[in-house]
Chains A and B, each alone.
Chain A
Amino acid sequence: DVKVTQSSRYLVKRTGEKVFLECVQDMDHENMFWYRQDPGLGLRLIYFSYDVKMKEKGDIPEGYSVSREKKERFSLILESASTNQTSMYLCASSPALGSGPYQETQYFGPGTRLLVL
Chain B
Amino acid sequence: DIQMTQSPSSLSASVGDRLTITCRASQGIRNDLGWYQQKPGKAPKRLIYAASSLQSGVPSRFSGSGSGTEFTLTISSLQPEDFATYYCLQHNSYPLTFGQGTKVEIK
Q: Do A and B come from one complex?
A: no
